[in-house]
Structure 1
Amino acid sequence: MPFRLILAKIRFGTSLTLLFVAAAPALAQAGECPTSASEIATDRPDVTNSSLVVPVGSLQGENGINTARRGLDKTFDGTNSRLRLGIANCLEILVDVPDYVGRLKGDAGSGFGNVAPAIKWQFAALPEPWNLSVTAGAGLPTGSPKIAGPGLQPYLQFPWSYEIGGGWGTSGMVTTFFFPSDPANKQTTEATFVLEKRVTERASLFVEYIGDYPSRGSSVQLFNTGGGYLLTKTQQIDFHLAFGLNRNSPNYIIGLGYSFRFDDLFRTSSR
């Protein structure tokens, strides 16, 4: 899809999202969103986030560590932690906890990232193979500007998925990040696409394309692959390995993660 068309859709989606958020209590009444009987669905290890929200009354924690190399610089970061809480049917709030980026080799910077709260709503009344959600959030200027960038950083995100059948599925995501305080780049659009295969009842593998396209400057493009394994219905371990596809991208990123979910924290979740 041409980059200008992606940007046009994102601008149009910004206006629609205001209507979706206002209409959410009335629309999100179908019983098609996850419940405590559902398996854990995480926003990791791929960059593409899950199109599903966490069940109402459930608290989900997703954590990971990475090591990366870009030219002569080698870094690690962790923990990449996200907390997600289902507050209503098809609706969750989430927060990205600041992670720490450390230098292992070279002249790369080090420090903490931003805390980033958000709200996520899943569209319930879609045909069964499809899932779609919208997330609106912002990175708050709590971390090191060398790591996280300057100022407030709002974002708008649309993760989707489609079940092909036979254990195969596709998913993707379009995100627009806004950087009002950055004089060099005010906006970046990220597009992802995933092909996933469930190889056993507990294990799955994926391949993913990730492209970050700033309004000014060169793009960052990655090929990412990895998988996850369900220890239980509410616990998952995962791994991923990414390679840069152009000179502006990291040489590689390697990561491991662990996620868990606690259910039925609200009395209303059992009604």
Structure 2
Amino acid sequence: MPRLWTAALLLAPLLACADEEKDQIVTDRPDFVESSNVVGRGRFQIETSFALDRNKADGVKQRTYYSPTLLRFGLSDTVEARIETDGRMRLVTDEAGKRVTQNGYGDVSLGVKWHVADEEGARPSLGVLAHVDLDSGSPAFRAAGRGGSLRLAAEWELPGDLGLGVMPGIAWQHDDQGERYAGGIFGLVLGKEWSERLRTFVEYSAPRIARGRHGGSVTTFDIGGGYLLTDMVQIDTALSRGLNKNTPDWSWTVGLSIKF
């Protein structure tokens, strides 16, 4: 993980010099539905955050602290490379008067995003994302095997400064027993731009759609927003409510994104 940050810091000024074009940052956070757009040729963008999950079930309380981070590198005007991780993680479990704390790093995911088409008429702006999930994290947070996903991001601009985003997808993962399975992904978000700087959203997300024997589906209702400090710097926050027993009761995040 330290090597990942070192590489990002070394690459940032080089990529910034490659393209002095002044545009406005568009992020893939804090909502679950990804943007259909890419960062642009020669550009680098970091989207990092602090996140907290809280859950209580069968007398067991759990809190997970982590630092989701996404690095985006512009390969062309329509394609970007991506490195994503939950970063540094800390899981605190309280059960029967005993507390157990586990620390480590999350897995790393490598991917690409292709901006397929701009919005035109009834056709939405379209992007395709393909990721490979590596079982590379610390033992306490490592997946049972390598996985991957393929997602389609579609976005429409609506009257009244509203925007609609939809993201269906499919994922290949391993459950807790190590059995490989294919599951679904889905997200639906409605956003509102209140000014050139401020936007908010409401969202339904299903990061995992799976049968019960594979751990079941994970679904949330999310609200949040982002604010542009400058054209290249965004701060954001979001709150999520779990909609079933497989999902943490509450999740909260606050983030910072910078485009170079």
- Same fold, TM exceeding 0.5? yes
Report what 2:87 is aligned to.
99
- Of 183, 201, 207 in structure 2, the residue corresponding to residue 206 of structure 1 is 201
1:175-214 deviations in whole A, cap 9, x for unaligned?
2221268644512211000010011220000001012211
Task: Go from structure 1 to structure 2 and tell me whether the alpha carbon gap of 1:118 and 1:77 turns closer, same or farther (over 3 Å shift).
Answer: same
Report what 2:112 is aligned to.
119
1:164-184 deviations in whole A, cap 9, x for unaligned?
022101102122221268644
Shift in Å at residue 68 of structure 1?
1.1
Aligned letter for 2:227? Y
Report what 2:7 is aligned to.
none
TM-score, length-normalised on structure 2?
Answer: 0.81
Task: Go from structure 1 to structure 2 and tell me whether the alpha carbon gap of 1:48 and 1:125 turns closer, same or farther (over 3 Å shift).
Answer: closer
Residue range with higher mean Cα deviation, 109-118 or 39-48: 109-118
Give 3-state SS (helix, strand or coil) of 2:141's partner. Answer: helix
Aligned letter for 1:220? V
| Residues 54 and 249 in structure 2, CA contact (< 8 A), matched pair in contact too | yes
Shift in Å at residue 217 of structure 1?
4.2
1:153-192 equivalences under 5 Å are 153-179=147-173, 183-192=178-187
Identity among equivalent positions (%) equals 31
| Residues 81 and 97 in structure 1, CA contact (< 8 A), matched pair in contact too | yes
Report what 1:268 is aligned to.
none
1:119-161 deviations in whole A, cap 9, x for unaligned?
1100135516721111112111211354241221121111111
**Structure 2: segments with no counterpart, 5+ residues:** 1-19, 95-99
Aligned letter for 1:187? A
Does residue 75 of the first structure (1) align with residue 64 of the second (2)? yes
| Residues 199 and 226 in structure 2, CA contact (< 8 A), matched pair in contact too | yes
Aligned letter for 1:90? T
Task: Go from structure 1 to structure 2 and tell me whether the alpha carbon gap of 1:97 and 1:184 turns closer, same or farther (over 3 Å shift).
Answer: closer
Q: Between Structure 1 and Structure 2, which shows a larger proportion of helix residues?
A: 1
Aligned letter for 2:245? R
Distance 1:130 1:38 in 2: 21
TM-score, length-normalised on structure 1?
Answer: 0.78
Aligned letter for 2:33? T
Report what 2:124 is aligned to.
130
| Residues 215 and 246 in structure 2, CA contact (< 8 A), matched pair in contact too | no
1:1-271 equivalences under 5 Å are 36-71=21-56, 72-78=61-67, 80-97=68-85, 99-106=87-94, 107=100, 110-124=103-117, 126-127=119-120, 130-179=124-173, 183-211=178-206, 212-215=208-211, 216-262=214-260
Give 3-state SS (helix, strand or coil) of 1:179's partner. Answer: strand
**Structure 1: segments with no counterpart, 5+ residues:** 1-34, 263-271
When the two chains are superposed, the root-mean-square deviation of aligned CA atoms in Å is 2.1
Q: How many residues align?
A: 227
Give 3-state SS (helix, strand or coil) of 2:110's partner. Answer: strand
